[in-house]
Amino acid sequence: MATLPTSSSTPLSQAFARKKSNPLPAIILAVGLLSAIGFAVLGYLESRRTEAVVILAHDIPYGAQISADDLGVIELPLHRPTQLQGIADPQTIVGQYAARNLGTNDVVQPAMLMPQPPTQPVYPNGEALAPNMVPVPFSTATIGPINFRDRVNIGFNDPTGDPTLCDAALSAAGGNEPTMIAAQNSPLQPRPYACRLLSSVRVLYVDDGAGIAYLELSPYQSHTIWALQSAGLQLWGERYGVGSDDLGALHRLDIGQVNYEQLTAPVTTPEFPSDTPSLPGAGNPIPGSVQP
């Protein structure tokens, strides 16, 4: 009688026995989750950290000395933009001077401070008077709207027609001795005239409420302006561009001297050096524009 061959497979009890799982992946996953939670908690706690920084309690004009009453302290996050880093110790600020116009609640930065006061008078807009120059108040009635970035031409009107005034004033404005021109004997009444005195004068500050522009002049130029005002002559001004040509000392001009060719001649455009650097990126295409 034949017998069935026996199988060499594992016993049935072993086949149904549960295999032991490897715990390493679960351990790694748990450690990763715990680490992530820990880093999140640490990050949150770090983001909540603050430090004290000094701010300004009110506006401080350029050149003013800073006192303890000008300062306040607030808490800011420890991790913040560079623009808000600030200074922590108020005592390092007291006694220093404002390097520009400072505003209320500004976070005090080292660049806002200077150890010494300005050596020249400073106006509320931050413009400083140049050494050996003087400010002259000038009515803006004949100029119109103006700002401190403009330049001004100054002239005067002489209703008497005196032929010596314009030459004398122009010479004085240039710092020279006046060359007096003797009046010619003429049966005709001298005609009133206008005289442009100075060109491209710097504007220091404009007081819009008072209608006054403070112009920067040399002491001798200033003296000339005051002398013209003392003589009762009407002063006038012209708003002028910084990049415009300097107008030289012009002689007097009355209505009988007007030249038609000069009156109708086109104004030339100032020539700038060919090596003048262009604005960075001026030649770059505008993003999204259709280029030829």
The Cα 66–Cα 69 span in angstroms is 8
- Does the pLDDT at position 289 exceed 50? no
Please give the DSSP secondary-structure letter assigned to residue 208: T
Nearby residues of 216 by Cβ (< 8 Å), 6 or more positions away: 129, 130, 133, 134, 135, 136, 201, 202, 203, 204
DSSP assignments along 115-136, one per residue: SS--SS-B-TTS-BPPTT-EEE
Mean pLDDT for 258-287 is: 63
Query: How far is C-alpha 245 from the geometric centre of its chain's CA atoms?
Result: 24
Query: What pLDDT score was predicted for residue 185?
Result: 47
> pLDDT > 70: what percent of the chain?
71
| Mean pLDDT of the region 56-85 | 80
pLDDT at position 6 is 54
Please report the pLDDT score of residue 58 as a whole number.
Answer: 87
All domains in the chain, ordered by first residue: 52-114 (3.90.1210.10), 134-264 (no CATH)
Helix (H, G, I), strand (E, B) or coil at 160: coil
String of b and e for 192-206 (b: at least 16 CB within 10 Å)?
ebbbbbbbbbbbbbb
Q: Angle CA(222)–CA(175)–CA(230) in degrees, nearest 5?
A: 35
Q: What length is written for the chain?
A: 292
Spatial neighbors of 181 by CB under 8 A, at least 6 apart, are 163, 164, 167
Distance CA 274, CA 281 (A): 18
d(CA 163, CA 283): 54
Q: Between 123 and 42, whose confidence is greater?
A: 123
User: What pTM, to 2 d.p., does this model score?
Assistant: 0.58
Query: In one letter, which amino acid is 22?
Result: N
